[in-house]
């Protein structure tokens, strides 16, 4: 007769280990599920990248403004320093003349107190002593007056130079900050794009290229004419740059940001306009009605004026849109229109 034995019950230790292992497996699985990021859709990534590029353009205009300010300050500082050098030379010449006068008096019998005062370090202090001026000849008084005036002017120029140099340092710091912010935003956009598959990235590139091609070949600009000859020339120049890439801080001739494109176009017409979109917003006569816009007018977009293009006619603008895109035509209704500017 076969022996029937009941299975040996699992030990408490073994049950505990198995239970702990199962619990750990569940916990790890749960954590992995939480840690694994949800795969973003192509549409979601494109929307995020577009938003980042829009933010980048705002900072780019600040960068352009800081660059323009830096160039002006550098020129002003150079001019002031040249003036300081010139006035220092004139002051040295006046003091030499005064020294010659003192030497002549010494040779003729010694330097009196009035001439000694002429040679003092602070001629203004001497001039305040009106009673002593009576002891001076008119020639001596004139020499002292000139020295005092020149010294005041020189001190003022030096103070102005110091102020401008500090402002220049602050502007350079602002430039560095703007560049760093732009680079961080572009790096973020690149990281998002790199999270896509090669096929998805190719799809975005093909879509952008196709849109640009359609815009260039099928756009109907109507038959309206520019309000001025310079506006017509600026628009004509801008059309030759269709397809040129957007690059932050660039102002041509091979790449552009938005205000770099418009300032370059007008420069080809012999007209100098400010470098940034915010400044260009005040560069001419504002046109608030879209129906009154003429080809070549500047068109300002967004409430903070951070984007600008050229009105091309029939509700279309020619502009440098954003990073990743090129100079192209686009409907004026695609962006929040503020007003036009007639140069």
pLDDT higher than threshold 70 for residue 110 = no
The answer to whether residues 186 and 228 belong to one domain is: no
Is 306 an active-site residue? no
What is d(CA 304, CA 160) in angstroms, rounded to the nearest whole number? 32
Q: Which CATH number belongs to the domain containing residue 125 in this structure? A: 1.10.287
pTM for the model stands at: 0.61
Q: Is residue 208 part of a domain?
A: no
Q: Which of 115-119, 179-183, 184-188 has the lowest mean pLDDT?
A: 115-119
pLDDT higher than threshold 70 for residue 16 = no
The answer to whether residues 49 and 179 belong to one domain is: yes
DSSP of 167-211, one letter per residue? HHHHHHHHHHHHHHHHHHHHHHHHHHHHTS-HHHHHHHHHHHHHH
Is 319 an active-site residue? yes
Of 62, 164, 319, 328, the active-site residue reads 319
Of 307, 322, 328, 342, the active-site residue reads 307
Own/partner contacts of 109-115, CB < 8 Å, gap of 24 or more, are 114/140, 115/140
Q: Is residue 249 part of a domain?
A: yes
For range 120-136, the mean pLDDT: 54
Is 4 an active-site residue? no
Quote the pLDDT of residue 87. 85
Which of 58-67, 111-120, 241-250 has the largest mean confidence?
Answer: 241-250
pLDDT bin (cut points 50, 70, 90) of residue 211 is low
pLDDT bin (cut points 50, 70, 90) of residue 19 is very low
Quote the pLDDT of residue 234. 98
The answer to whether residues 254 and 297 belong to one domain is: yes
Of 258, 318, 332, 335, the active-site residue reads 258
Q: What is the residue-averaged pLDDT of the chain?
A: 80
pLDDT higher than threshold 70 for residue 137 = no
Q: Is residue 333 part of a domain?
A: yes
248 Cβ neighbours under 8 A, 6+ residues apart: 56, 57, 60, 63, 182, 186, 257, 323
Q: Which of 22-36, 80-94, 118-132, 220-234 has the lowest mean pLDDT?
A: 22-36
Quote the pLDDT of residue 215. 56
The answer to whether residues 176 and 279 belong to one domain is: no
Count of structural domains within the chain? 2
Quote the pLDDT of residue 213. 60
The answer to whether residues 231 and 190 belong to one domain is: no
Q: Which domain holds residue 135?
A: 42-194
The answer to whether residues 56 and 187 belong to one domain is: yes
Residue 49 belongs to what H/E stretch? Answer: helix 42-107
């Amino acid at each position: 007769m076969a022996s029937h034995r009941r299975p040996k019950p699992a030990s408490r230790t073994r049950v505990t280990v198995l239970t702990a292992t199962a619990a750990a497996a569940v916990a790890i699985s749960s954590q992995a599920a939480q840690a694994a990021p949800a795969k973003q859709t192509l549409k979601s990534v494109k929307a995020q990248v577009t938003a980042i590029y829009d933010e980048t353009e705002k900072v780019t205009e600040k960068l352009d403004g800081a660059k323009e300010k830096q160039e002006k300050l550098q020129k002003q500082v150079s001019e002031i320093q040249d003036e300081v050098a010139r006035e220092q030379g004139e002051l040295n010449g006046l003091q030499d003349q005064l020294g010659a006068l003192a030497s002549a008096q010494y040779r003729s019998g010694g330097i009196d107190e009035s001439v000694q005062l002429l040679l003092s370090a602070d001629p203004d202090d001497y001039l305040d002593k009106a009673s002593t001026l009576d002891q001076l000849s008119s020639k001596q008084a004139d020499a002292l007056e000139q020295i005092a005036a020149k010294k005041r002017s020189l001190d003022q120029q030096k103070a102005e130079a110091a102020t401008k140099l500090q402002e220049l340092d602050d502007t350079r710091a602002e430039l560095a900050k703007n560049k760093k912010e732009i680079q961080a935003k572009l790096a973020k956009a690149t990281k998002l794009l790199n999270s896509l598959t090669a096929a998805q990235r190719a799809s975005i590139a093909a879509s952008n290229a196709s849109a640009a091609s359609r815009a260039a070949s099928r756009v109907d600009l109507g038959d309206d004419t520019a309000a001025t000859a310079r506006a017509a020339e600026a628009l004509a120049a801008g059309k030759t740059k269709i397809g040129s890439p957007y690059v932050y801080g660039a102002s041509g001739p091979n790449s552009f940001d938005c205000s770099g494109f418009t300032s370059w176009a007008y420069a080809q017409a012999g007209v100098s306009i400010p470098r940034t979109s915010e400044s260009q917003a005040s560069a001419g006569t504002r046109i608030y009605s879209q129906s009154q816009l003429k080809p070549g007018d500047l068109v300002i977009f967004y409430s903070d004026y951070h984007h600008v293009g050229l009105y091309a006619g029939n509700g279309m603008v020619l502009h440098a849109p954003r990073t990743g895109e090129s100079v192209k035509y686009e409907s004026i209704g695609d962006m929040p229109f503020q007003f036009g500017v007639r140069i």
